[in-house]
Amino acid sequence: MTTPSPVTAPNAPGRRLRARSGRAPWILVLPALAAVAFLVLPFAGLLISAPWPDMGQRLREPDVLSALWLSLVTATVATVVSVLFGVPLAWLLARAEFPGRRFVRALVTVPLVIPPVVGGVALLIVLGRNGILGSHLDAWFGLTIPFTTAAVVMAQVFVAMPFLVISVEGSLRGADRRYEEAAATLGASRATVFTRVTLPMVLPGIGAGAVLCWARALGEFGATITFAGNFPGSTQTMPLAVYMAMQRDPEAAIVLSLVLLLVSLAVLVTLREKWVNT
Amino acid sequence: MRETGPRAPVLAPLAAAAFLLLAATACVGDGSDEQDAREDRSELSGELDVFAAASLTDVFEDLAEEFEAQNPDVDVVLNFAGSSELAVQINSGAPADVFAAADTVTMEQVADDLGLDPDWAADHSEDGALFATNTLRIAVPPDNPAGVETFGDLAGDGVDTAFCAEEVPCGAAATAAMEGSGTDITPVTYEEDVRAVLTKVELGEVDAGLVYTTDVVSAGDRVEGLAFPEAEAGEALNDYPIGVLSGAQEPEAAQAWVDLVLSGTGTAILEEAGFGTP
Amino acid sequence: MGSYLDADLRLSRGDFTLDARLGAERGEILALLGPNGAGKSSALRALAGLVPLAAGHVRVDGHDETTTAVEGRPIGMVFQDYLLFPHMSALDNVAFGPRCQGAGKTEARRRAGSLLERMGLVEHAGARPGSLSGGQAQRVALARALAVQPRLLLLDEPMAALDASTRVEVRARLRHWLEEFDGATVLVTHDPLDAMVLADRIAVIEHGGGGEQGTPAEVARRPRTPYVARLVGLNLFRGNAEGTTVTLEAGAEGKAATVRLPEPASGPALVAFPPRAVALYAEPPHGSPRNVWRVYVDGVERFGDQVRVHLAGPPDLAADVSPAAVAELGLVRGKTVWAGVKAAEVESYGT
């Protein structure tokens, strides 16, 4: 009973070692700082060159407020639509076995790589007044989509939904499928498994995808101006207003850009807080 | 001949030095007769940076071929963009020898110290030499579905019209035409530029669009252009000014370019493209 | 086999094949024992319907469930790391099954609540799985599986996710709950101790095939493969505990050995430790807190890279040592050695 135990090691060296390994290596820190600088400097430039003295007056212009409101509403509606259609699509891509799945996945990402303006033209060709589907909508229901707020939402969904689909598909692939098996052994149908187990478990992924989707929709320009046109109040979103202002008054464009940036930052930070806290 | 975007203004001090040197030699050339001048011209060399409104693309590309044939040692670099965008580029220090804008207002937007070379302006024109005019036309799809015949028809119910945004010259001209004639037209969209208006007309998404004569010519038989008297009213008519800039690195070549544009050859090519000439 | 559970499991995946016949009576606990990768878990998943059979059948209580979908089978399953739904409270986890079976929300929660109460988890009903200890999580998982009132209970390595210090207690509790269950239980384990303590019958699964089956005593008595021999070569004794000392039942010569325990206990007890926990010495070791017995070598057998030494006592022991140790100690039949086992390596159970 008197044998000393030689296994016990003093604590101090271990702690020191841990402290050293906790410091980030410079090979990561330097590029990271450069990246932050590159991403933040243009924003700082906008702040510096903004016409601060008459900022308040510029912000009260009715066109600014209506463009901001239209942007927030359409981006939110576009995100909701993307979630409603994109989550089932992501599930099919992640879980279902069907011929041509790889091909479908590649197709889904097409809007990410084609220039948005081309996307807008493509939407016109399909859904425009003389479009492949649009002409029938016009003839049968008297429905024309271009130059309406609905067209703004469609253009945003077109460019932004792939972000959501890719993000949610990734979460679905990363999710532990054994939980779904556990639910099945408890008698859950496939639909119940999806709504009560799969969906809650990939909720963070859906949230992240929705944020990306919303941000992309908010900044959408090319497809919107091509497909929905530019009319104050109904189709002129903030990015369009910024572009138009740029033609005549670059300072006004800076003001509008700052407003868009600050509002979207505020929304994103709030959402993030909410998710982190739950 | 090359086309390029603006480059970093590193060469600005060099350009200034070169300009002084060339200005000195130019003084020596003063008083030489026509024959000498022509010989001088053929000895021109270097790189000539021409900034021109996008609507001049076809015309200036033809002229550049002509110019390079006459002056084999000169490399003409063409930079096409919207007039106001070019003005922003020049104000930011982009190296430019010649600026040809789509309206006189834009020419005035170039900052004083970067604008027209004062010596050149004194000899030629304070606001640049007017070398072309462009009038509005009503562009309709070839089958003219809404049966548009006059400018007043565009104000009618059930006629969807696309305008350029007021911030760009073709939009300003449309507003001038409305104000000049007391016609009140509400378009369904204010497009970001004249190309976008043409696209909407070509696709049949709108019944009519207001574009320039030159655009109708370049669109061939994809659209039909209707001339209307209101387009001749005062400010609805676009004047194209051209001039040699203060920062010109090759002022002699620049002057030669301006001369070519104003020459019979230039006029013929401009008229062929649908421009009016003064 | 006309038993309550009658399964003939044949399936193949890549180069893995499983071919096993399993049976268990109502109220019986069948342990599938075997090395990792032998196909135990595949057999369990096949019983659950999570992997399809290539051939064979699964009958439970006279009903053929071979082609029934997972959600329709009369089963309850406890997974290796329990797989409690992380976004639901313990209560909702248990109520999930009854809800899926059509019970109303209130009724499902009432049933879940009473199950948790019986398992002594009332105060944890509202807790998220992440905040439960391993033993608590296992009980919630068991309650969740029992809440669907299964006729066949499937347990996949129920002890694997627990740390050694809680195992003994949790194993004893688990046995208690399983004894109350009136259907058949199939338990997968790679730990012979689990199988010996928990199961009424053991089926050894090796290389995808069902080998020996029988009561733990039958399987231990006549091991037919080295794997089984080593697996069941557990040093298991019966005795009477008082404080931290257990006096073992007297052997053939009438002498009684004692074993020191890590924790105090009292009354009749089972004492167990694996052969690898036994160290051999040429001279009596001094000073360390271990059980030391003077024994002599009864036989030496080689298993793979280890040597199993049978020792005559009391107590009669098996020890696993390295070939180098055999040479160093000169372990030949009849040689006297001292066998030592640390008290911490000894497990005991009330009987």
Pair C210, C244 in one domain? no
Comparing alpha-carbon positions, the chain A residue that sits nearest to B187 is: A231
Is the pTM for the entire model greater than 0.90?
no
What is the arithmetic mean of pLDDT over C290-299?
80
CATH code of the domain in which C45 resides: 3.40.50.300
Strand order in C347-350's β-sheet?
C235-248, C258-273, C347-350
Highest mean pLDDT: which of A56-70, A138-152, C249-263, C308-322? A138-152
Q: Do C218 and C198 belong together in one domain?
A: yes
With residue C244 as reference, give the H or E element that holds it. strand C235-248
Distance, CA of B110 to CA of B86 (rounded, Å): 9
pLDDT above 90 as % of chain A: 55
What domains, with CATH codes, occur in chain B? 2-133+239-272 (3.40.190.10), 136-236 (3.40.190.120)
Domain boundary among C178, C205, C227: C227
Predicted local distance difference test score (pLDDT) of residue A11:
44
Q: Which of C170, C195, C227 is the last residue of a domain?
A: C227
Contacts of A187 in chain C (CB under 8 A): 71-72, 97, 100-101, 148
Region of poorest pLDDT, from A114-123, A201-210, C85-94, C294-303? C294-303
Q: Do C144 and A186 touch (CB under 8 A)?
A: yes
The verdict on residue A232 lying in a domain is yes
Is residue B60 a contact partner of residue B100, using CB atoms and an 8 Å limit?
Answer: yes
Helices A250-277 and A62-95, packing angle to 10 deg: 50
Contacts 24+ apart (CB under 8 A), C57-62: C57/C6, C57/C7, C57/C8, C58/C6, C58/C7, C58/C8, C58/C9, C59/C5, C59/C6, C59/C7, C60/C4, C60/C5, C60/C6, C60/C151, C60/C152, C60/C184, C61/C4, C61/C26, C61/C151, C61/C183
Residue of A117, A121, A230 to mutate when probing chain B, most B C-beta within 10 A: A230
Asked whether residue A270 is domain-assigned, the answer is yes
The one-letter amino acid at B84:
S
If one counts every other C-beta atom within 10 angstroms of the C-beta of residue C151, the result is: 19
* A1–C73 C-beta distance less than 8 A: no
Nearest-CA distance B201 → chain A (Å): 11
What pLDDT does residue B265 have?
A: 92
Predicted confidence (pLDDT) per residue in A171-180, tens digit: 999 999 999 9
User: Measured between CB atoms, which of C69, C97, C287 is closest to A186?
Assistant: C97
Q: Which range of residues forms the domain containing residue C285?
A: 235-350
How do C209-214 and C201-206 pair as beta strands?
Answer: antiparallel
From CA C208, how far away is CA A227, in angstroms rounded?
Answer: 62
Residue A4 within a domain: no
Report the pLDDT value the prediction gives residue B59, as an integer from 0 to 100.
Answer: 92
In a domain, A34, yes or no: no
CA–CA gap between residue B109 and residue A246 (Å, rounded): 13
pLDDT at A85: 97
As for how many domains chain C has, the answer is 2
Closest partner residue to A244 (CB to CB) among B162, B165, B188 is: B165
Tell me the C-alpha distance between A49 and B121, whole Å.
32
Statement to judge: residues C34 and C102 lie in one domain: yes
Overall average pLDDT of the C4-10 stretch:
90
Min Cα distance A248 → chain B (Å) is: 5
Tokens of C148: 């669907």
Strands C258-273 and C347-350 turn out to be: antiparallel
B14 and chain A in contact, CB less than 8 A: no
Domain around A158: 49-277
Q: Which of C50, C96, C154 sits opposite A186 (nearest CB)?
A: C96
Position with higher pLDDT, C214 vs A17: C214
The confidence score (pLDDT) of residue C141 equals 94
The predicted structure's pLDDT at residue A12: 42
CB-side neighbour CA atoms (13 Å) of A142: 1
Q: In the structure, what pLDDT confidence band is assigned to residue C195 with cuts at 50, 70 and 90?
A: confident
The CATH number for A273's domain is: 1.10.3720.10
C246-292 residue pLDDT tens? 777 665 555 667 777 777 777 777 777 778 778 888 777 776 657 88
List residues of chain C with CB under 8 Å from any CB of chain A. 48, 50, 69-73, 75-77, 79, 83, 85-87, 96-97, 100-101, 144-145, 147-148, 154, 287-289
Give the per-residue pLDDT at C187.
92
Q: pLDDT tens, C114-163?
A: 999 988 898 999 999 999 988 899 999 999 999 999 999 999 988 887 77
State which residues of chain B have pLDDT below 50.
5-41
pLDDT bucket at A182, cuts 50 / 70 / 90: very high
pLDDT-derived band at C226 (thresholds 50, 70, 90) equals low
Both C195 and C246 in one domain: the answer is no
Single out the residue in C227, C246, C272 at which a domain terminates: C227
Both C35 and C158 in one domain: the answer is yes
Question: What CATH number should be reported for the domain holding residue C257?
Answer: 2.40.50.100
Q: Is residue A213 part of a domain?
A: yes
The pLDDT, as a whole number, for residue C209 is 67
Give the C-alpha separation, C235 to C346, whole Å. Answer: 10
Mark out chain A residues that contact chain C at CB-CB < 8 A. Answer: 1-3, 176, 178-179, 181-189, 192, 196-197, 200-201, 203
Size of interface A-C (CB pairs under 8 A): 64
**For strand B46-53 and strand B74-81, is the pairing parallel, antiparallel, or unpaired?**
parallel
**Whole-angstrom distance, CA of residue A220 vs CA of residue A214:** 10
Domain count, chain A: 1
Residues of C in contact with A184 (CB under 8 A): 50, 69-71
User: Do C198 and C270 belong together in one domain?
Assistant: no
Task: Report d(CA B258, CA C38) in Å as an integer.
Answer: 89
